Structure 1
């Protein structure tokens, strides 16, 4: 344990990206990076949000079916990454917005749509109808009514950029918490081996109450789960994680999957890959950048992968 560094712990909170942001940095000389990091988060939110009328992603959506829109290199690269994994058709889909807005689970007006309505919306979430021009750096959604939403990977991407900033400035230890999306930097001052103790949320309890803990060197921890937003209709429970392959909530006996990866943006993608798969994938933890995963079923039974 590094008691001296422990005493130089600085925390800053902020509300952005639709969630509570908490940044923790160790080392008095790095305190100024907290404000810089919050400014960076606000900058990316201005570019990527779909919760305001104006942003680069909203300009793409407003041009759907009409005209390609040029975006900044950062936004283009993230859209390209999102489209690439959306086309793998494992459950992650950055075009799913029209379907989410049809069901409205977790929001006022939530209801169970008709089969016909769902089939109509499925036409608007095809990732192959996104045209990307690397030379012009433009994005074009071919059908009017299509929508890009990078909410499924933006937090991970932004966390990685904050980590870059901290590492460039020599930060010895820190925790980036973007609404439960965690990224650990450097060596934990709490332990002689420098490993971080990471809690895995108990899906049946309040946020912050853990069912398991993991010890790992600096890494990202991202969870996909269905326990926070749902709709009950005629005695049936419909959770918010919609399957873009069917248009309906994913049928699963999983409550959550938490993945531990080198990059937070890949944690976002891989958490969804494993959750939609419903069970561990052979040799998943042996792939570069993947550390391990914890599957929690509705009955709270667990499967550990890579630990």
Structure 2
């Protein structure tokens, strides 16, 4: 049976512990002032770290956050059979879509347009073609050109229409919001917690967003392999890495496809993006993973307030910044 969604990447992890233990080398805080929640959101491990928050306040906030995650998954998840996204994929039309479904898909189409199609929510056909190919022949090489060409015929974000009371796709299209869904949910949960007066919070629902630094001003540290951790005091980080979900017994392909040729993108080993919005950072890390250095240079002015760290297959890191930036990551 074909899975409906890829195993989500888990390529950077929270280096900061719950503040009940030392955070960024700071002295331990009183346990009664700190709280950590761990669960699952949009198919990924999820963590929310509270600093300087009484447990009762944190538990109340987590109950509200969990209910919001559940509601958002009913709209955006490929894991739920009757989600709005799954119904759209089955019926090619979704009547009276929720506000979140409309906003998330509208953002996906906006990023698709500004990235010249490097981000495309209709790449689900490529995922299905690869999964079916390797399910039949796990040890095979990459799918043949004719199979990719057939799948690519369904990949075109411009055929997706958001109407006043419905969403429509092409008759052969299936959509995925995995490229920004975790970031979108991260933003919604961060905004919910902020509205409750919480400030010293790190939300990690597959992408990381800091509402602010720790209570003493120390940043949250987000680890990355073989490099210094990111120091995050505000805004969001999102990382894409092909090795996070390999396809085929020999790892012949991975889940981050270049919509232009239907093949797994190969320019980079890892791309990390910082932006004030986790959804935008999530989408851009996906888009830029398929972009060359020259393409990133050309596209970056379209995305103000973006910082990019790209590690090539030679292990060298390149950085780009599109001002204005808020100085909340180091």
Counterpart of 1:124 in 2: which secondary structure? coil
**TM-score calculated relative to the size of structure 1:** 0.83
Q: Which of the pair is proportionally richer in strand?
A: 1
Contact 1:13-1:22 at 8 Å conserved across structures: yes
Q: 1:259 to 1:6 in 2, by over 3 A?
A: farther
**1:242 paired residue number:** 257
Q: Distance in 1 between matches of 2:299 and 2:162?
A: 32
Contact 2:42-2:73 at 8 Å conserved across structures: yes
Q: How far apart are residue 45 of structure 1 and its match?
A: 0.8
Counterpart of 1:248 in 2: which secondary structure? coil
Verify: 1:149 aligned to 2:166, yes or no.
no
Counterpart of 1:84 in 2: which secondary structure? helix
**1:271 aligned to which of 272, 285, 292:** 285
**2:40 paired residue number:** 15
Q: Distance in 2 between matches of 1:9 and 1:285?
A: 40
**TM-score calculated relative to the size of structure 2:** 0.78
1:206-247 Cα shifts (integer Å, max 9, x gaps): xxxx522233431211001112222468x8842321111101
**1:225 aligned to which of 241, 245, 264:** 241
Report the count of equivalent residues. 288
Verify: 1:76 aligned to 2:102, yes or no.
yes
Verify: 1:161 aligned to 2:188, yes or no.
yes
1:231-273 Cα shifts (integer Å, max 9, x gaps): 468x884232111110111232x11011111110110122123
1:142-189 Cα shifts (integer Å, max 9, x gaps): 22x31111111111111111111111111131111113x111112223
Contact 2:209-2:278 at 8 Å conserved across structures: yes
Q: 1:132 to 1:236 in 2, by over 3 A?
A: closer
Q: Distance in 2 between matches of 1:40 and 1:149?
A: 20
1:4-44 Cα shifts (integer Å, max 9, x gaps): 67751111111231111111112003331012112211111
Verify: 1:113 aligned to 2:128, yes or no.
no
Q: Distance in 2 between matches of 1:284 and 1:6?
A: 43
Counterpart of 2:290 in 1: which secondary structure? helix
Q: How far apart are residue 100 of structure 1 and its match?
A: 0.5
**1:255 paired residue number:** 269
Contact 2:131-2:247 at 8 Å conserved across structures: no
Q: CA RMSD in A?
A: 2.7
Contact 1:155-1:178 at 8 Å conserved across structures: yes
Verify: 1:25 aligned to 2:50, yes or no.
yes
Gaps of 5+ in 2: 1-25, 322-329
**2:158 aligned to which of 109, 128, 132:** 128
**2:129 paired residue number:** 102
Q: 1:216 to 1:129 in 2, by over 3 A?
A: same
1:56-97 Cα shifts (integer Å, max 9, x gaps): 111211222xx5533111111211221232244342111111
Q: 1:167 to 1:106 in 2, by over 3 A?
A: farther
Q: Distance in 1 between matches of 2:108 and 2:277?
A: 15
Gaps of 5+ in 1: 203-209
Q: 1:106 to 1:44 in 2, by over 3 A?
A: farther
Counterpart of 1:247 in 2: which secondary structure? coil
Q: 1:115 to 1:182 in 2, by over 3 A?
A: same
Q: Distance in 1 between matches of 2:297 and 2:246?
A: 27
Contact 2:179-2:286 at 8 Å conserved across structures: no
Contact 1:59-1:69 at 8 Å conserved across structures: no
